[in-house]
Amino acid sequence: MKKIMTRIAALALTAALMLPAMSYASPVVEEQDLSLSADAAAAAVTSTITPAPQGYDGYRNNIPHGNVQQISYYSTTVGKSRNAMVYTPPGYTPSKTYNVLYLLHGIGGDQNEWLNGMNPRNILDNLYSQNKLEPMIVVFPNGRAMADDRPIGDIYAPDKVAAFERFEFDLINDLIPYVDSHFPVYKNKQNRALAGLSMGGGQTLNFGLKHLDKFSWIGAFSSAPNTKSASQLITNPAQTASQLKLLWISCGASDGLLYVSQNFHNSLTSMNVPHLWYLDVGGHEGKVWSSGLYQFSQRIFK
Ligand code: FER
Q: Confirm whether 205 is domain-assigned.
A: yes
Q: Confirm whether 302 is domain-assigned.
A: no
Over range 109-135, report the average pLDDT: 98
Ligand 1 centre from 25 Cα, in Å? 28
Q: Confirm whether 29 is domain-assigned.
A: yes
CA distances for 43 relative to 39, 92, 280, angstroms: 6, 40, 25
The C-alpha angle 124, 185, 91, rounded to 5 degrees, equals 45
Distance CA 35, CA 250 (A): 17
The pLDDT-based confidence of 16 (bands split at 50, 70, 90) is very low
Q: Which residue has the higher pLDDT, 18 or 286?
A: 286
Indicate if ligand 1 lies below 6 Å from the C-beta of 161: yes
Q: Confirm whether 278 is domain-assigned.
A: yes
In this model, does residue 75 exceed pLDDT 90?
A: yes
Over range 169-187, report the average pLDDT: 99
Ligand 1, atom 14: closest residue by C-alpha: 225
In this model, does residue 46 exceed pLDDT 70?
A: no
Over range 114-128, report the average pLDDT: 99
Indicate if ligand 1 lies below 6 Å from the C-beta of 20: no
Indicate if ligand 1 lies below 6 Å from the C-beta of 155: no
Q: Confirm whether 32 is domain-assigned.
A: yes
Ligand 1, atom 13: closest residue by C-alpha: 225
State which residues form the domain around 261. Answer: 2-297
> What DSSP line would sit under the chain, residue for residue?
-HHHHHHHHHHHHHHHHH-GGGGGGSPPPEEEE--SSHHHHHH------PPPPTTTTS--TTS---EEEEEEEEETTTTEEEEEEEEE-TT--TTS-BEEEEEE--TT--TTHHHHHS-HHHHHHHHHHTT-S--EEEEE-----SSS-S--S-TT-HHHHHHHHHHHHHIIIIIHHHHHHHS-B--SGGGEEEEEETHHHHHHHHHHTT-TTT-SEEEEES--TTPPPHHHH-S-HHHHHHH-SEEEEEEETT-TTHHHHHHHHHHHHHTT--EEEEEESSSSSHHHHHHHHHHHHTTS--
pLDDT at residue 30, rounded to an integer: 44
Ligand 1, atom 3: closest residue by C-alpha: 224
Give the atom of ligand 1 at the shortest distance from the alpha carbon of 105.
11
Indicate if ligand 1 lies below 6 Å from the C-beta of 226: yes
* Cβ atoms of 270 and 243 closer than 8 Å: no
* Cβ atoms of 260 and 302 closer than 8 Å: no
pLDDT at residue 115, rounded to an integer: 99
pLDDT at residue 48, rounded to an integer: 81
State the CATH number of the domain containing residue 237: 3.40.50.1820
pTM of the model: 0.87
Give the atom of ligand 1 at the shortest distance from the alpha carbon of 201.
11
Bridge-based pairing of strands 136-140 and 80-88 is antiparallel
pLDDT at residue 29, rounded to an integer: 38
Bridge-based pairing of strands 80-88 and 30-33 is unpaired
Indicate if ligand 1 lies below 6 Å from the C-beta of 199: yes
Q: Confirm whether 147 is domain-assigned.
A: yes
Ligand 1, atom 5: closest residue by C-alpha: 224
Q: Confirm whether 16 is domain-assigned.
A: yes
Ligand 1 centre from 262 Cα, in Å? 16
In this model, does residue 19 exceed pLDDT 60?
A: no
What is the per-residue pLDDT across 203-233, written as a single tens digit (0 to 9) for each? 999 999 999 999 999 999 999 999 999 999 9
In this model, does residue 9 exceed pLDDT 90?
A: no
The pLDDT-based confidence of 47 (bands split at 50, 70, 90) is low
Give the atom of ligand 1 at the shortest distance from the alpha carbon of 226.
7
Q: Confirm whether 97 is domain-assigned.
A: yes
Give the atom of ligand 1 at the shortest distance from the alpha carbon of 164.
7
Number of structural domains in the chain? 1
